[in-house]
Amino acid sequence: MRTFQHFLSYYKPYRKIFYLDLFCALMISVIDILFPLILDYLSNDFFLRGAKIIQAALPWIALGLLVIYTIRSLCRYYVSAQGHIMGAYMESDMREDLFDQFQRLSFTYYDKHNTGIMMSRVTNDLFDICEFAHHGPENLFISLIKIIGSFAIMFYLNGILSIALLLVTVLMLLFSYSQNTKMKRIFMDNRKKIGEINASLQDSLEGARVVKSFANEPLEKDKFAHSNARYLKSKQDNYEMMGFYYGGTNLFQGLLYVTIVVVGGFLIAKGKLSPFDLATFALYVNVFVAPLEVLVEFTEMFQKGFSGFKRFEEVMDEDPDVKNEPNAKTLENTNGHITFKDVSFAYEEDKCVLDHVNIDIPSGTKLALVGPSGGGKTTLCSLIPRFYDVTHGEVEIDGVNVKAYTLESLRKQIGVVQQDVYLFNGTIKENIAYGKEGASMEEIVQAAKNANIHDFICSLPLGYETPVQEKGVRLSGGQKQRISIARIFLKDPKILILDEATSALDNESERVIQKALDELSKGRTCITIAHRLSTIKNADTIVVIDDEGIQESGTHEELLAKNGIYAKYDRLQFEGL
């Protein structure tokens, strides 16, 4: 019920269009129902009155009919155009709501859900919902009126004949319904098979280098031929079924007319029906049968639309794990003093990643985190901007729990440079400007200079207007990283998190980027996660963390003197170089 109300609420802004749409649908049905009756009157009564009267009336009859049909076509226009437009508006409203919701949802949601499926929500599900939203009510309305109206008139014309007709129609509906269920199954199978083909195609295209390096083209060909054949088979079944369905429905329609001719002929012979009435009756059969098929389609449309809407609602009902607390205040001009107080964290229950961690990072100092991969370094950092909330304990900025700040103001104060850089579709300039709303060109250029990427950008034919991503320039990992660093220069946050920012780079790029990062970290509180110890030697504090927790901490010299884990790392890397 709640789902239904929620669904109806999307009609609200378009109530006027909706009612007018239904009104037009009503007009169409009424005209369709009355038209054979008018013909019946003309042929049964009026046209028998003599040549003079008929000739005098013909222009008026023509005019009358023309007016009726003009009204009908205007209504048809409204239903087709405005009805669809209303559907498109509703779809756009839902899409926007869904997008807003995706923006609200926390990292935990994205951890658990596949982006491909989320995309299909935004496209397929919404399309199904909106097809139903505008066709549904109007189809239901038109069909019911036509079915009830035409049957009433047929019954009025002749009771026996209409009952006979009804019996055949019920058989036809049963056939239609059973075939529809089968067709749906085959259709689903079809969709699955095309999905398999796409997966296979995507796999071998994206993995083209691997395929070629193993010279495994024949294997890939085989795999593809297999899924291609399965798809072909499924399509064959589909068309076979469709042919059977349409053929069968046609047979039943023929059966309807046979019934009319036989039963009608019988009734005429008995003097219980006039030939003209029989002709009118035949005209009504179409008015009666066509909407029945629409109703069968309607049930399918309803199922698709409603299950789509249920899935839509599922996402909309999802509450973000991380959100603003009531009375959250704005974090402005932070000193950048970070404290982890007895912090524990688990992604899943009972799988503790951080266990009672205590770290103090005074304002403007540099902290380095080192340790084996999977030790929880990234996790620890992601608790500061509240990508996730702690399970136990507190993360504080300037002595206040981060939960007391609004998410927006908190995250504005923190810059994160990661190993993987995501560049958006757009130009280099736009990608840098992402760091600050309304940044001027001077600011963008300055940021690029600070990030050591300005000269490279200028060497491109289109300069700052060069598009990145598809069809754009191919940027190396180091170039992308410098663009992301320029973004952070623009953002100018007080707190900086460098999460293996240079790990994926070659020595040459690393050196350039390290320079940019040293520049960036000046005057900011900075947490660096690094594999290569050479980059963190100068940190004020180095913390060694593994899946057992914090093992040691101190300055580079202190830790070397301690001759513990850090000293061992240092020796290994030194020897490794």
Find out whether 363 and 525 touch, Cβ atoms under 8 Å. Answer: yes
Comparing CB distances to ligand ADP, the nearer of 180 and 418 is 418
Q: Which does 332 bind (CB under 5 to 8 A by kind): Mg ion, ligand ADP, none?
A: none
Measured between alpha carbons, how far is 236 from 230 in angstroms, rounded to an integer? Answer: 10
- Tell the smallest beta-carbon distance from residue 499 to Mg ion (Å): 6
Comparing CB distances to ligand ADP, the nearer of 203 and 355 is 355
Neighbours of 246 (CB within 10 A): 11
Q: Which does 347 bind (CB under 5 to 8 A by kind): Mg ion, ligand ADP, none?
A: ligand ADP
Let me know how long the chain is.
Answer: 577
- Tell the smallest beta-carbon distance from residue 382 to Mg ion (Å): 9
Comparing CB distances to ligand ADP, the nearer of 437 and 548 is 548
| Binding of residue 111 to ligand ADP (CB under 6 A) | yes
Comparing CB distances to ligand ADP, the nearer of 106 and 450 is 106
Measured between alpha carbons, how far is 491 from 439 in angstroms, rounded to an integer? Answer: 9
283-286 contacts, C-beta under 8 A, 24 or more apart: 283/35, 283/36, 283/39, 284/36, 284/150, 284/153, 284/154, 284/157, 285/165, 285/256, 285/257, 285/260
β 366-370/525-529 pair status: parallel
Comparing CB distances to ligand ADP, the nearer of 238 and 382 is 382
Measured between alpha carbons, how far is 229 from 232 in angstroms, rounded to an integer? Answer: 5
**Identified binder of ligand ADP from the candidate list 150, 378, 521, 525, rule CB under 6 A:** 378
Binding residues with Mg ion: total (CB under 5 A): 1
| Binding of residue 497 to ligand ADP (CB under 6 A) | no
Find out whether 436 and 418 touch, Cβ atoms under 8 Å. Answer: no
Q: Is 143 exposed, middle or buried (0-12, 13-18, 19+ CB in 10 A)?
A: buried
Comparing CB distances to ligand ADP, the nearer of 4 and 347 is 347
- Tell the smallest beta-carbon distance from residue 420 to Mg ion (Å): 11
**Identified binder of ligand ADP from the candidate list 161, 353, 402, 517, rule CB under 6 A:** 353
Amino acid at 336: G
- Tell the smallest beta-carbon distance from residue 553 to ligand ADP (Å): 16
Q: Rounded to whole angstroms, what are the CA distances from 185 to 180, 188, 239, 249, 374? A: 9, 5, 13, 19, 45
The full DSSP string for 345-386 is: EESSTT-EEEEEEEEEE-TT-EEEEE--TTSSHHHHHHTTTT
Comparing CB distances to ligand ADP, the nearer of 134 and 386 is 386
- Tell the smallest beta-carbon distance from residue 552 to Mg ion (Å): 19
Question: Near ligand ADP by CB under 6 A, which window of 9-17, 205-213, 278-286, 377-385?
Answer: 377-385
Comparing CB distances to Mg ion, the nearer of 204 and 378 is 378
User: For 106-158, where are the alpha helices, taking DSSP H only?
Assistant: 107-112, 115-120, 126-157
**Identified binder of ligand ADP from the candidate list 373, 399, 459, 522, rule CB under 6 A:** 373
Contacts of 433 (CB under 8 A, 6+ apart): 439, 444, 490
Sheet holding 392-397, edge to edge: 352-361, 338-346, 392-397, 400-401
User: For 78-120, where are the alpha helices, taking DSSP H only?
Assistant: 83-104, 107-112, 115-120
- Tell the smallest beta-carbon distance from residue 382 to ligand ADP (Å): 8
Comparing CB distances to Mg ion, the nearer of 234 and 378 is 378
User: For 45-82, where are the alpha helices, taking DSSP H only?
Assistant: 51-77
Amino acid at 262: V
Binding residues with ligand ADP: total (CB under 6 A): 10
Q: Rounded to whole angstroms, what are the CA distances from 392 to 30, 129, 195, 320, 325? A: 68, 42, 44, 19, 17
| Binding of residue 435 to ligand ADP (CB under 6 A) | no
Q: Which does 5 bind (CB under 5 to 8 A by kind): Mg ion, ligand ADP, none?
A: none
Give the per-residue contact string, 285-324, with ligand ADP (x = CB under 6 A; - = no).
----------------------------------------
Comparing CB distances to Mg ion, the nearer of 378 and 535 is 378
| Binding of residue 385 to ligand ADP (CB under 6 A) | no
Comparing CB distances to ligand ADP, the nearer of 373 and 507 is 373
Comparing CB distances to Mg ion, the nearer of 396 and 500 is 500
| Binding of residue 379 to ligand ADP (CB under 6 A) | yes
- Tell the smallest beta-carbon distance from residue 551 to ligand ADP (Å): 13
Find out whether 542 and 554 touch, Cβ atoms under 8 Å. Answer: yes
- Tell the smallest beta-carbon distance from residue 368 to ligand ADP (Å): 13
| Binding of residue 502 to Mg ion (CB under 5 A) | no
**Identified binder of ligand ADP from the candidate list 193, 311, 377, 454, rule CB under 6 A:** 377
Neighbours of 400 (CB within 10 A): 15
End-to-end CA gap in the chain: 68
Give the per-residue contact string, 345-384, with Mg ion (x = CB under 5 A; - = no).
---------------------------------x------
| Residues pairing with 366 in the sheet | 526
Applying CB under 5 A, which residues contact Mg ion? 378
Applying CB under 6 A, which residues contact ligand ADP? 111, 347, 353, 373-379
